[in-house]
């Protein structure tokens, strides 16, 4: 009986109210999108909404603290204790809830994203401390030694009455985040490339399809091949310094996410490397013809590609002359 009361207390604690709130918000968003668009298109619309929300919130938080700290992140620790109910906690919880709600759609329509979604849910759950409830009784978070929240930290809370724990309540052990900065930076880095992916998708079939596709490939490559390896290196540096189960689990999850992103990048880059063309499925002269009609972009591309390769050539003129009129 006592165990049941304790379990109910945990169930109705803010640990679960917070993700349930954001799960309900994303569920409503999915239902609204389903009424407005076909089911596959509705998934894309909500995915775009999550990308924008996650990028704007994470960029705002990072930008604010970057300026506040004297235009540097020196002194910040990726996996240090963070207070729950703060802005960074909501940012991480919003994204975890989105991946939970989107999982059925991934299973039904985009099975290549199932592993990615599972890793995201697990990684964000680990950051928020939900592995405290897994069945292996591993006290890897050192709950009893965790710092208590002091009354002057109340101002850091958002919707404290509903989501936050009363800082004056010393009877309950605080569930702290491990790596709020880690979670927010991960989202910023991931959604930087994701934002350009959605921009590229929006311009498909239009005159600006080629430059938007090029911007996506460039930014996705930059974020995955430059930013992410640096982030992983710092994560493992902290993991090997502290050598806790949390850091080893967190490092493993982030590495798995990194590899899934590299796989997606390779699927987009390999056809370009193989064909030597940004959009291999387009007609043979599509790229040169587009650049011929957009001279400003042509000057930019000539920095990387010789004038001879950009010329339309005699074959193009002959092909145009042989086409029947009308």
**pLDDT given for residue 169 in this prediction:** 58
Q: Where are the domains of the chain?
A: 2-275, 286-322
Phi, psi of 16 (to 5 degrees): -105, -20
pLDDT, tens digit (0-9, with 9 covering 90-100), for 105-127: 999 998 989 999 999 999 998 88
pLDDT, tens digit (0-9, with 9 covering 90-100), for 191-217: 999 999 999 999 998 999 999 999 999
**pLDDT given for residue 159 in this prediction:** 45
Q: Cβ distance 30 to 101 under 8 Å?
A: yes
Lowest mean pLDDT of 106-110, 261-265, 285-289, name the range.
Answer: 285-289
Mean residue pLDDT of the chain comes to: 81
Q: DSSP labels for 189-206?
A: HHHHHHHHHHHHHHTTTS
Side-chain half-sphere CA neighbours of 162 within 13 A = 9
Q: How much is the average pLDDT of 9-24?
A: 75
**pLDDT given for residue 199 in this prediction:** 95
Report the relative pairing of strands 177-178 and 81-82 from DSSP bridges. antiparallel
**pLDDT given for residue 104 in this prediction:** 95
Q: Which pLDDT band holds residue 315 (cuts at 50, 70, 90)?
A: low
Angle CA(31)–CA(92)–CA(164) in degrees, nearest 5? 95
Q: How much is the average pLDDT of 61-71?
A: 90
Lowest mean pLDDT of 56-65, 109-118, 283-292, name the range.
Answer: 283-292
**pLDDT given for residue 317 in this prediction:** 53
């Amino acid at each position: 009986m006592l165990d049941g009361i304790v379990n109910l207390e945990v169930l109705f604690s803010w640990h679960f109210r917070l993700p349930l709130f954001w799960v309900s918000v994303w569920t409503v968003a999915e239902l609204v999108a389903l009424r407005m668009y076909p089911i596959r298109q509705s998934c894309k619309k909500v995915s775009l909404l999550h990308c924008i929300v996650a990028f704007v919130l994470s960029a705002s938080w990072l930008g604010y603290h970057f300026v506040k700290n004297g235009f540097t992140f020196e002194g910040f620790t990726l996996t240090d204790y963070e207070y729950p109910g703060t802005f960074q906690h909501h940012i991480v919880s919003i994204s975890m809830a989105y991946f939970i709600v989107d999982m059925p759609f991934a299973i039904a329509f985009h099975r290549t994203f199932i592993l990615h979604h599972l890793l995201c849910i697990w990684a964000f759950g680990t950051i928020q401390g939900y592995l405290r409830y897994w069945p292996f009784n591993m006290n890897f978070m050192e709950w009893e030694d965790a710092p208590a929240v002091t009354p002057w930290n109340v101002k850091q809370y958002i919707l404290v009455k509903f989501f936050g724990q009363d800082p004056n309540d010393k009877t309950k052990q605080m569930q702290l985040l491990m790596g709020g900065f880690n979670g927010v930076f991960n989202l910023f880095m991931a959604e930087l490339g994701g934002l350009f992916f959605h921009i590229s998708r929006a311009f498909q079939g239009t005159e600006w399809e080629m430059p938007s596709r090029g911007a996506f490939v460039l930014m996705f490559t930059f974020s995955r091949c430059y930013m992410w390896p640096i982030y992983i290196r710092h994560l493992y540096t902290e993991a090997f310094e502290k050598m806790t189960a949390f850091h080893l689990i967190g490092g493993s999850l982030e590495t798995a996410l990194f590899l899934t992103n590299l796989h997606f990048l390779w699927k987009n880059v390999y056809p370009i490397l193989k064909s030597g063309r940004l959009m291999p499925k387009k007609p043979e002269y599509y790229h040169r013809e587009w650049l011929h009609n957009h001279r400003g972009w042509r000057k930019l591309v000539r920095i990387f590609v010789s004038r001879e390769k950009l010329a339309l050539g005699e074959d193009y003129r002959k092909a145009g002359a042989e086409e029947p009129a009308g």
